[in-house]
Amino acid sequence: MNTKAFIFDLDGVIVDTAKYHYLAWQKIANELNIEFTLEHNELLKGVSRVRSLDIILELGKIEASQEDKNRWLFQKNEDYLSYLVDMNESEILPGVFTILKFLKENNQPIALGSASKNARPILEKTGLLSYFDAIVDGNDVTNAKPDPEVFLIAAKLLETKPEDAIVFEDSVAGIQAANIGNMTSIGIGEAAILHEAKYIFRDFTEIDTRFVADLIKE
């Protein structure tokens, strides 16, 4: 069987920690009297923590010193981590485990490519860490998506050419990063939002293992 590289984003693809990010950012926004809705939260998808804070401050038209920004970034992460304490395998999104298991059984290399700096503990808590041959997260990259850096590093670690890499993403920036990196992009979510992806599925329950087998053969 052929070998491809399968690269997964974390939040909104493997697990849904987006709600915890939202709660942590909302807490900061409330303290600064900035209105921060779920709609606003969409702007932060696939974006680094530093850029996310800047977006929130822009929403409130607030200018802040680097010292204040660092304090809020630290606070946000502490709040976020506190929400993750009780996380377990029940947080894995439907259908994900079936695909990971199929890839592992067929000896396909798997990597994580995420902006999250907490990727490893999340994979540990959900019992998925052993499925990944490489983990590239926010600690390993300097450029945020749509720059393809995170995916290019992942493909390199899996010793695979970018054109043989398949990326699962739920954000516009992530899909764009995969496309810029000359990889096959698979959008997980709304077709109207992720229309730049080569393939789009509402969630992993819509992805048949035969579809994955065909990707491997290509």
Q: Smallest Cα–Cα separation from 184: which of 2, 5, 12, 15?
A: 5
9 is written with which tokens? 């984003």
Candidates 11, 68, 164, 203; catalytic one: 11
Candidates 9, 86, 133, 170; catalytic one: 9
Q: Smallest Cα–Cα separation from 19: which of 97, 69, 115, 87?
A: 87
What are the DSSP calls for 114-134, one per residue?
Answer: -S-S-HHHHHHHTT-GGG-SE
Confirm whether 208 is a catalytic residue.
Answer: no
Q: How far is CA 110 from CA 8, 18, 107, 182, in A?
A: 8, 22, 9, 18
Confirm whether 9 is a catalytic residue.
Answer: yes
- 25 near 52, Cβ under 8 Å? yes
- Enumerate the active-site residues: 9, 11
